A and B are shown apart, each in its own frame.
Chain A
Amino acid sequence: MYVAVKGGEAAIANSEMLLAETRRGDPALPEIGTAQIASQLSLAVDRVMTEGSLYDRELAALAIKQAQGDLLEAVFLLRAFRTTLPRFGASEPIDTARMVVRRRISATFKDVPGGQILGPSYDYTHRLLDFSLLATGGAPADAPRAPVDPGPMPHVLALLDREGLIEPERDSDAGAPVPDVTRDPTTFPTDRATRLQALARGDEGFLLALGYSVQRGYGRNHPFAGEIRLGEVEIEFTPEELGFPVTIGAATVTECEMVNQFKGSAKEPPQFTRGYGLAFGHSERKTMSMALVDRALRARELGEDVEAPAQDEEFVLYHADNVEASGFVQHLKLPHYVDFQSELVMIRGMRAAAAAGAPTAEPPLRVAVGED
């Protein structure tokens, strides 16, 4: 009859069919497989797993396929699936010192025990479009590999720790249950474990911009990349009936430890402080940004003035989640015509009063209290 937004069930069904067609693209081309996505778009899969808070390459690849490569939509799909999964417990903390390292660099020392291992990285590639990739078929030549020492690889910051130059990593309450931001509403002020969880799920772009703002002087605390490492860690779980931890799998993670200056206070001598980042897969930009923001958010704990956006936990944590942000920004597409009508009625009334030259009403004198 009259209004375009009053579509019905049929319109929605048709829209979803059109979407399926668009997603498939040109049917003359072979359909992309989730195994291809998982293997060849692995960094996209890593991001979706990290922000989706679910370590499953196949499902993340499926989400990317279903979302036509829109990574935020894929994160949303994965989260909506994750929320239906039963929880059977929390794993033991992963031990990244026992990581099977593929890449490990430190910007604070020229050489470190265990060595600097460049691994796979875009860092020193020249960003020239490689037109040979337009053609398909050829496999790249095997990359040479040196044997890696299978022993544990201690963290670089542990070396500083031994001298007391850096704040020790404190496990504030070892026996306390692990907080879960997906199961408990966040209340402020937050503890660091809660913040790190929220940051790990947070939007990479948002954290990147906040981390960048810290570097440019909004809440400045000069950082050094103490260590970034990428590799596989074992996941251990202690079943109640066994009483001791068993390995239930392995996960690829990226870890970033930032070293930051701290002048010291009346109570504490000058020492370096820490910022921490961890993400699934190979996610260096994310973990570095996360570490910068983690350190900035410790301002209150370290007695610094909270002045910059990156130091403000309410600002950061309320706005870091891209599933929440994307939903609320895009809800403006929903009909708002009742509210808009209300505004129309009001603004017409105000304009009519202005045109009639009616004097503005006297300001009110007393608040009506009523008999509630």
Chain B
Amino acid sequence: MDGYNFAYLDEQTKRMIRRALLKAVAIPGYQVPFASREMPLPYGWGTGGIQVTASIIGADDVLKVIDQGADDTTNAVSIRRFFARTAGVRTTERTAEATIVQTRHRIPEAPLRDDQIIVYQVPMPEPLRWLEARETETRKMHALAEYGVMHVKLYEDVARHGRIATAYDYPVMVSGRYLMRPSPIPKFDNPKMDRSPMLQLFGAGREKRIYAVPPYTTVRSLDFEDHPFDIQRWDQRCALCDAGDSFLDEVIVDDRGGRIFVCSDSD
């Protein structure tokens, strides 16, 4: 695009972000502060993911952008269009063809390979934020690996509701050291992060944090021995492709409560 650098960001900014990414990969699950730029898209709409993608994308890359698992949701369309305009890269809707997948709220059903990178858009990077509002405190808690409050929270869930009442953005321990928010993916997707061959990068633009899970790193969803982590299951199968092992969206099809279930992953 005239007047703008390849993939919008200037090269100095890209270098700054790449440095943050390298640090993030070196310390799996640790939130690296970075000088997030003001993007031409609103904060909260994927500016962190966009900056990460813009810093790693090259002319030969093939980009897939999904939101809620789908390529055709408005925000995914908008971000894909942004990169098509500013970087002129090839885009795809097939997971297998992509070299970079930028995502909001899902991990594709098809497993990613070691030559693929997934970039998550993160609204709130801090897993302890609802338990402790202050960044100065939560950084201390991470430094000391003091995660008791999270276990207490989960314990209280079980005591009150009989189960852990967190269905998405389910907290994970990365490489046995840092507590991490996987971004608001359904807990259904959490197992896909564990020891995965893909490189996983997380960008939180508004909160100015980058973190990462390198390939083949353990990502364990927090649980208790007698209340093991479990994922959502459906009695139904996808009404479109008959898949029985995917995350299903519920679609209301009439005004009498009629509904069908379809794959959230549009690939």
Contact = CB atoms under 8 A, between A and B. Distances in A.
B120 to A, nearest CB: 13
A367 B225 contact: yes
A338 B264 contact: yes
B134 A335 contact: no
A76 B78 contact: no
A353 B159 CA distance: 14
Nearest to A368: B225
Interface stretch (B55-63, B108-116, B168-176): B168-176
A183 B162 contact: no
Contact of B162 (A3, A188, A334, A350): A350
Contacts of A364: 155, 158, 224-227
B251 A84 contact: no
Contacts, number: 182
Nearest to B208: A185
A80 interface: yes
Contacts of A349: 163
Contacts of B78: 12
Please report whether the interface of chain B is mostly helix, strand, loop or mixed according to DSSP. Answer: loop
Contact of A80 (B38, B188, B223): B38
Contacts of B90: none
Given A5-B74, A331-B123, A339-B184, A372 B44 contact: no
A337 B224 contact: no
Interface in A306-324: 314, 318, 323-324
Given A12-B78, A323-B43, A328-B44, A339 B168 contact: yes
Interface residues of A, number: 61
Contacts of A344: 250
Nearest to A334: B75
Given A338-B249, A372-B175, A363 B33 contact: no
B247 interface: yes
Contacts of A79: 38
A366 B35 contact: no
Contact of B106 (A2, A5, A338, A372): A338
Contacts of B135: 188, 314, 318
A350 B162 CA distance: 8
A363 to B, nearest CB: 4
Contacts of B77: 7-9, 12
Nearest to B260: A2
A39 interface: no
B130 interface: no
Contact of B136 (A83, A86, A184, A314): A314
Given A183-B35, A323-B42, 10 more contacts: A79-B38, A83-B39, A86-B10, A323-B38, A337-B68, A337-B249, A338-B106, A339-B167, A339-B169, A366-B224
Interface of A: 2-3, 5-9, 11-12, 76, 79-80, 82-84, 86, 182-189, 314, 318, 323-324, 326-331, 334-339, 341-346, 349-350, 353, 358, 360-368, 370, 372
15 contacts: A12-B78, A83-B38, A83-B39, A182-B38, A186-B208, A327-B44, A327-B45, A338-B105, A338-B185, A338-B186, A342-B186, A353-B162, A362-B226, A363-B155, A366-B226
Interface of B: 4, 8, 10, 33-40, 42-45, 47, 67-70, 72-75, 77-78, 81, 104-106, 123, 133-136, 151, 155, 158-163, 165, 167-169, 173, 175-176, 184-188, 206, 208, 218, 220, 223-228, 232, 234, 247-251, 253, 262, 264
The 7 closest A-B pairs by CB, nearest first: A372-B176, A327-B43, A331-B44, A364-B224, A342-B167, A327-B42, A328-B44
